[in-house]
């Protein structure tokens, strides 16, 4: 999909939202819209590399609050102007390579107003099964003290000899968490149930490949909804007494 250059004539354009199933080509004039606050380029059920737009230059508007879904690599940080968006609250990123994740996140955490973020790995979505997030890649997210919504799409690499769970990077401010294709084999509930603000938990599309899960009696103090599907290997789910939250389960 190619956006027309004539869109640059809409000087007062506040929100630009479009959805397509092919790669998006965004003309330079879009980046020069001075009143732009919301810019969303969306694919189908989840953002793919073909539906993201290549983000490589700065926006004239310094009041952009929502920016999704953009395909990025390490070349992005070579242009410091592209990262001077101090009002960003909602950010959707499609990483071209898992090797770029940590480097870009170290810059993204400077968006100290960030409330919502979606991150996916395009090389995994394009059938590179060796591609994965790692704890070291995602560790900078712990510094996002205002982050309340997080979606991660792609495998999360586990380290069997580490003393802590790979999800330990999650900041305590998280209220809604979606994991998709994470392929976790170690029970994530021990970490997730300690998140004090978590109200919605979505474990989707092979997020957990282990055989057993345990929820303690005092865990998930705020959880209202737990949705899970495609947990094909799950054989036992132990929920200790006094756990009275509503669990919505799909598998």
pLDDT digits (tens, 9 = 90+) for 196-223: 999 999 999 899 999 999 998 889 999 9
Over the stretch 160-175, which tens digit does the pLDDT of each residue have?
Answer: 667 788 899 899 999 9
| Domain 5-174: CATH class, spelled out | alpha beta
pLDDT of residue 59: 83
64, 62, 83: which is closest to 14 by C-alpha?
64
Which residue bears the tokens 């005092």?
218
Residue 129 has pLDDT above 50, yes or no: yes
pTM of the model: 0.87
Question: Do 174 and 151 touch, CB atoms closer than 8 A?
Answer: no
Over the stretch 130-184, which tens digit does the pLDDT of each residue have?
Answer: 668 887 788 888 999 999 999 999 899 887 667 788 899 899 999 999 999 999 9
Q: Which long-range contacts (CB under 8 A, 24 or more apart) does 225-233 make?
A: 225/199, 225/200, 225/201, 226/201, 226/202, 227/200, 227/201, 227/202, 227/203, 228/202, 228/203, 228/204, 229/203, 229/204, 229/205, 230/204, 230/205, 230/206, 231/203, 231/206, 231/207, 232/206, 233/209
Q: Where are the domains of the chain?
A: 5-174
pLDDT of residue 113: 85
pLDDT of residue 211: 93
Question: Do 55 and 76 touch, CB atoms closer than 8 A?
Answer: yes
Residue 10, burial from CB neighbour count under 10 angstroms (0-12, 13-18, 19+): middle
Question: Do 43 and 1 touch, CB atoms closer than 8 A?
Answer: no
Q: Give dist(CA 154, CA 46) in Å, integer.
A: 11
Q: How far is CA 206 from the centre of its chain?
A: 16
Q: Give dist(CA 223, CA 220) in Å, integer.
A: 5
How does residue 35 score in pLDDT terms, banded at 50, 70 and 90? very high
Q: Give dist(CA 182, CA 166) in Å, integer.
A: 11
Residue 49 has pLDDT above 50, yes or no: no
């Amino acid at each position: 999909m190619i956006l027309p250059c004539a869109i640059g004539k809409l000087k007062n354009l506040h929100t630009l939202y479009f959805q397509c199933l092919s790669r998006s080509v965004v003309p330079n004039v879009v980046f020069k819209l001075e009143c732009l606050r919301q810019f969303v380029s969306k694919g189908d059920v989840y953002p793919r590399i073909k539906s993201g737009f290549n983000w490589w230059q700065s926006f004239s508007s310094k009041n952009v609050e929502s920016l999704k879904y953009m395909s990025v690599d390490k070349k992005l940080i070579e242009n410091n102007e592209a990262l001077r968006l101090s009002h960003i609250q909602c950010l959707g990123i499609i990483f071209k390579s898992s090797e770029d994740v940590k480097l870009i996140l170290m810059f993204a955490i400077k968006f100290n107003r960030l409330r919502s973020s979606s991150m996916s790995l395009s090389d995994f979505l394009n059938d590179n099964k060796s591609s994965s997030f790692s704890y070291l890649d995602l560790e900078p997210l712990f510094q996002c003290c205002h982050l309340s919504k997080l979606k991660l799409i792609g495998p999360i690499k586990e380290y069997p000899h580490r003393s802590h769970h790979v999800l330990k990077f999650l900041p305590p401010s998280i209220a809604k968490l979606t994991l998709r294709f994470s392929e976790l084999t170690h029970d994530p509930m021990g970490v997730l149930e300690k998140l004090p603000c978590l109200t919605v938990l979505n474990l989707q599309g092979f997020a957990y490949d282990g055989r057993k899960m345990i929820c303690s009696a005092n865990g998930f103090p705020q959880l209202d909804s737990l949705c899970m599907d495609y947990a094909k290997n799950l054989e036992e789910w132990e929920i200790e007494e006094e756990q009275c939250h509503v669990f919505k389960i799909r598998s």
